[in-house]
Structure 1
Amino acid sequence: MKHFKLPDLGEGLQEAEIAHWHVSQGQRVEADQPLVSVETAKALVEIPAPYAGVVEKLFGAEGDVLHVGEPLVGFEGESSDAGTVVGRLEGGGEAARHDVFFIGAAPSTREHLAPRATPAVRQLARQLGVELGALSGSGAAGLITRADVEAAAESARERFGGERLRGVRRSMALNMARAHAEVVPVTLHGDADLQRWGAARDPLIRLAQAIAHACRVEPVLNSWFDGNALAVRRHAQLDLGIAVDTPDGLFVPVLRNVGQRSAEDLREGVARLRADVQARSIPPQEMLGATLTLSNFGTLFGRYASPVVLPPQVAILGAGGIRDEPVAWQGRVEIHPMLPLSLTFDHRVVTGGEAARFLQALVEALEAPSG
C-alpha cells in the first residue's frame, strides 16, 4: 500500500480536522482530484490526490484530527518509501529478532517500560492532557494508538461534563496555551484624540497606516522572534493581521505591505478579506505571515484590554470603542472623540522604551488631521 500523508498546510499548521471525504474506499481517482476537505486553525482546505490510483484505505473519519505527516489515504500498490520509523521494525527470519536486556534484577511487572506510542500519538496525548502511562495500548504488542488516547480524553470529558472543542475554537485553545507558556506579556495603554478628523469615525484604515508609521520608528515591533535560537527576524514591510470575529471563532487574515498602499487600496483589501472570512473561502496563505496584529475589538464593546501576543509575533495592538470625553484643550474644557489603545508586547524582545516610543509615534500619526 502506498501511503499519502497529511501534507504541510503552511506555517504553524501542524494538524487538521477531517471535514468531508470526497472519495471512498475502492474508488479510482485521478491526479489532482479532490480527496478530502480539512479544517485547520486558519480555514477550510481542499487536499487533492497526488497521483492517479485506487483508494485502498481512508485513515480517519469525519471529525478526526490528524497531524502533519500522518497517513491520510492508502493507495493500492507497493510503497517505494517505508517512511520514518517510529515504532518497531517488523520482518521475517532471524534478522528481524531482537533481544531486550535489563541491567539489574529481573522485573516482575512492565512498570519499568516507557509507554509504547508513536511521536504523533505522544504529541496528541500532551495536547489532550492524557497520561500515557495510565493507558493499556490496543495496538500490536501493546502499542498505544490514537484511538486509545482519544478514548481516554473523551472519558475524562464525560466525567467532567464538558464539550469537546473542535475546529477554530480548539485551535484557539491550543494557541492561547502556547502563548501563555512562551510569551512574557506587558501592556501599555494610551489614548488618541481624534478631534481633527472631522465627522468621520472609521478608524481601521487610519490605524493600519499609523501602525506602519510607528513600525518605521521602532522596527523591532515588526519582527518575528525565534525563542529557541534567541534570534529576531526583522521585516522590510508590514504584513498586518486583522482580527475578524465570526460566529465560528476568531480569524486573523493578513493585510499585506500596509505601509506602501493607499487608503483606498487598503480599504478594498480589508473588505475583501472580511468577505472571504465570512464565506469561509479565504485561502490558507492569506492567513499566514503577519508580523503584527490589530484587534479592533471596540467595534463590539470595550475600552481597554490586554490582547494576547501569538508567537512568533512580538506585539499586538487593541483598539477600543471611540468615546466623546471632556479634555483640557488650550486652557479650556472641550468634548473630543477619544480612541483608547492597548499595546501588548513580548518583553523578551521589546524593551519598555521601544514599546513606549512605538505607541507615541502611533498616537501622533492618528492625531494628525485626516486627509
Structure 2
Amino acid sequence: MVREFKLPDVGEGVAEGELLEWHVEPGDTVSEDQVVADVETDKAVVDVPSPVNGTVRELLAEPGDVVPVGEVIITFDVEGEAPEESEGGAAAETGTETDAAGEAGAAPDDAGETAESSVNGKGGRVFAAPSARRLARELGVDITGVDGSGPGGRVTESDVRAAAEGGDSAGSEAGESDDGKQLKSAVSRIDDGDSGGNKSSVGDGLQSAVSRVDDGEGGEPGGAAPESGAAASVEAAGRERTLAAPATRQVAEDLGVDIDDVPTDEVRDGQAFVDEAAVREYAEVQQRAQAADAEALADAADAGEAGATAESAEAGASGADDAATGAVEAAKGDRREPYSGMRRTIGQAMERSKFTAPHVTHHEKVDATALVETREKLKERADERGVKLTYVPFVMKAVVAALDEHPVLNTQLDEDNEEIVFKSDRNVGVAAATEAGLMVPVVESVDEKGLLQLASEVNELVSKARERSIAREEMQGGTFTITNFGAIGGEYATPIINYPETAILGLGAIEERPVAEDGEVVARDVLPLSLSVDHRVVDGADAARFVETLKEYLEDPTLLLLE
C-alpha cells in the first residue's frame, strides 16, 4: 500500500519548515528511522526520519520549499501492510473519502493516484509541490482543477502557468460565475502587463467585476462573491475560530487583517488553519482589488480616451502592488536569493524586538589592562586542560555579578499581566555569527560555574551552532545576552535586544589606546562597551549604574574571586 508521511511538528510552536535537502530518491529502499530529509525550522536544522520500512514512491516537496507542519512531503510503498479502509491507499490513511477503488478499470497499481485525483474539486488534495501551490495562488488558479503532467498526475509549475494562460482553472470547471471570471481575467492582464488591443475593455471589465464583487450580484449589498480564483481571496471568510502560529497572528495584526477572514482550505484538529503566506496573500489581493477599483472609477471619469484606461489601470495596480509588497526592482547583474528559513526567522525576531521595545544604548570604555594580563596568565593553564580561554567567560562572570546588584536588567516584561518579571536564573546567551545568520546559544546558571567550565560550554555551543547541529532548547531560556562584535572588528554598536529580555551587552575590540593617567599619556588596553536596554523597564540611570559596576569587575578581575 501507499503510505503518506506528513512533515511532523519537530519543535514546540513550529508551524512550518524549509526543506533543505533530500537524502533519498524515488525507488530507493529505506528502513524505519533512516534519515530521508533535512528540514530547517526557526533556528535549527533537524533530521526527518522514515516512519516505515519500504520504498520511496514520490517526493512531494522540493529543496527550498517552505512546508507547513502536517503537509505530506513524501510517500512510501509498504509491502505486507493492510490498507486501513480500502485500496485507496494514501487517501484512506488520511481519512479522505474516495470511491477510486470502485471505478471500473482502475488498476491496483494506480489506486494511490486514483484516490488522490478522485477527490479533486472541492476541498480535495492534489499531488503538487508547495512551490506549485504558491504559484497557483499568485496567478489566481484553483489548483484542484489543473491536470497534472508530472509522475502520478502531479501538478507542476508549468501546468499551473499553462492553466493560467489558457484559463484552465477549477473556477471555470466548477461553474465559476461570470463576475469572478471577469475580475480574474482583468487582474491577470493588468498584472502581466498586457497592453495590447483591448485596453478599454480591460478597464471596463475590471470596474464592472470589482463593483459586482463589492456590492453583490444585481447591486444588492452583501451579495455572494465568486468562490474561486482572485475573487475568492477578496471575500472575507468570516470564521468564528482560526488556528495559526503566534508569528502568523502578529503578521495579520501588522497588516491590519482579521485572521478569521483569511480564506483557507487547510484544517488542523477540525479547525481552519492559516499560515503566514495565506495572510500576506489575502492582504495583498485586498489591497490590489481596492487600488484597482479606485483606479477603474477614476478612469471612468476620463472615458474619452479608451487607450488610456488600461494603461492607467496597469500603472495603478502595479504601483499599489509594489507598495503593498515592498517590491524591489532588480537591475542587470543583481543577484536574488530567498528571504526564508533561518534568515527570515532572524529578521522577524529583530523586527519584533526593535518595534516592540524602545531601545536606548549606553556606551562606555573600560581599562582592560588587568583583564588582558589575567587572561594571559590563565590561558596556558587552560590550554593544558584542553580548553580555549577567551575574554567572554570573564565578561559573563562580571555580568552576573553586576546583575546581582542591578537585577532590573535581568527581567522580562509581561505585557498581558502588566508585570515586570525579575528572573532568578542567570542564563546568559552568547550571540554567534554563523553562515546561516546570528544564533544565540544559552549558557545556564552562569553564577554557579567557574571560568574553565564556562569557556568549555561556550566553545561547545558556538561550535554546534556553526555546524547547525544545536538543539532548539539550547537556544532558549536566556535572561541576558552578550554579543562580541569586537571579535570581527569595531568599537561601538547599538545591539538589538534579544526579546523578551530587557538588556544586551555588546563588546568592542580590545585595543591598545592612549589614556591620560596622572597627567601623563600612557598606553592601556581598552574595551568599549555598548549596552542596549528596553526603556520601558530600564531607565538610563539604571543602565549607567550597571555599567559602572561591570567596569569595576572587568578592571580588577580578582574581585570575581569573591563571587
Give the TM-score taking structure 2 as reference length: 0.52
CA contact (8 A) 1:125 1:132 kept: no
Change (3 A) 1:277 1:211: same
CA contact (8 A) 2:483 2:506 kept: yes
Change (3 A) 1:172 1:198: closer
- AA matched with 1:329: E
Which stretch of structure 1 is more off in the superposition, 295-304 or 198-207?
198-207
Change (3 A) 1:251 1:5: same
CA contact (8 A) 2:427 2:478 kept: yes
Q: How does 1:1-371 map to 2 (within 5 A)?
A: 4-10=6-12, 13-22=14-23, 32-49=33-50, 59-68=60-69, 70=71, 72=73, 76=89, 78-79=92-93, 105=221, 107=223, 113-114=235-236, 116-117=263-264, 122-126=275-279, 131-133=284-286, 159-160=329-330, 163=336, 164-197=338-371, 199=373, 200=375, 202-330=390-518, 332-370=520-558
- AA matched with 2:49: P
Change (3 A) 1:174 1:29: same
Higher normalized contact order (CA 8 Å, seq sep 6+, divided by chain length): 1
Quote how far apart the aligned CAs of 1:341 are: 0.4
Which stretch of structure 1 is more off in the superposition, 104-113 or 188-197?
104-113
SS in 2 for 1:238: coil
- AA matched with 2:8: L
CA contact (8 A) 2:441 2:461 kept: yes
- State the match for 2:82 in structure 1: none
Change (3 A) 1:130 1:270: same
SS in 1 for 2:429: strand
Aligned residues: 338
Change (3 A) 1:192 1:26: same
CA contact (8 A) 2:263 2:278 kept: no
CA contact (8 A) 1:6 1:67 kept: no
CA contact (8 A) 1:127 1:174 kept: no
Distance in 2 separating the partners of 1:3 and 1:313 = 38
Quote how far apart the aligned CAs of 1:344 are: 0.6
- AA matched with 2:361: T
Distance in 2 separating the partners of 1:224 and 1:68 = 30
Distance in 2 separating the partners of 1:315 and 1:251 = 17
Distance in 1 separating the partners of 2:448 and 2:9 = 34
Give the TM-score taking structure 1 as reference length: 0.75
CA contact (8 A) 2:411 2:479 kept: yes
Unaligned runs of 5+ in 1: 83-87, 91-101, 137-151
Distance in 1 separating the partners of 2:368 and 2:222 = 78
| Structure with the greater alpha carbon radius of gyration | 2
- State the match for 2:302 in structure 1: none
Quote how far apart the aligned CAs of 1:29 are: 6.1
Distance in 2 separating the partners of 1:229 and 1:28 = 54
Distance in 1 separating the partners of 2:424 and 2:411 = 9
Quote how far apart the aligned CAs of 1:28 are: 7.8
Change (3 A) 1:7 1:28: farther
Distance in 2 separating the partners of 1:349 and 1:252 = 22
Q: If each structure's strand is expressed as a fraction of its own residues, which one has the higher value?
A: 1
CA contact (8 A) 1:67 1:120 kept: no
Change (3 A) 1:135 1:36: farther
- AA matched with 2:263: R
Distance in 1 separating the partners of 2:495 and 2:282 = 26
- AA matched with 1:237: D
Identity of aligned residues (%): 31
CA contact (8 A) 2:58 2:74 kept: yes
Quote how far apart the aligned CAs of 1:308 are: 0.5
SS in 2 for 1:9: coil
Change (3 A) 1:367 1:73: same
CA contact (8 A) 1:6 1:72 kept: no
Which stretch of structure 1 is more off in the superposition, 73-82 or 195-204?
73-82
SS in 2 for 1:325: strand
Distance in 1 separating the partners of 2:497 and 2:535 = 11
CA contact (8 A) 1:23 1:35 kept: yes
Distance in 2 separating the partners of 1:275 and 1:43 = 13
SS in 2 for 1:318: strand
**CA deviation string 1:216-236 (max 9, x = no partner):** 122232233343443444433
CA contact (8 A) 1:10 1:285 kept: no
Which stretch of structure 1 is more off in the superposition, 249-258 or 51-60?
51-60
- AA matched with 1:15: E
Unaligned runs of 5+ in 2: 77-88, 97-121, 125-215, 237-261, 267-271, 290-320, 377-389
Quote how far apart the aligned CAs of 1:366 are: 0.9
Give the alignment's Cα RMSD to 1 decimal: 3.8
Distance in 2 separating the partners of 1:277 and 1:326 = 37
CA contact (8 A) 2:6 2:69 kept: no
SS in 1 for 2:401: helix
SS in 1 for 2:365: strand
- State the match for 1:97 in structure 2: none
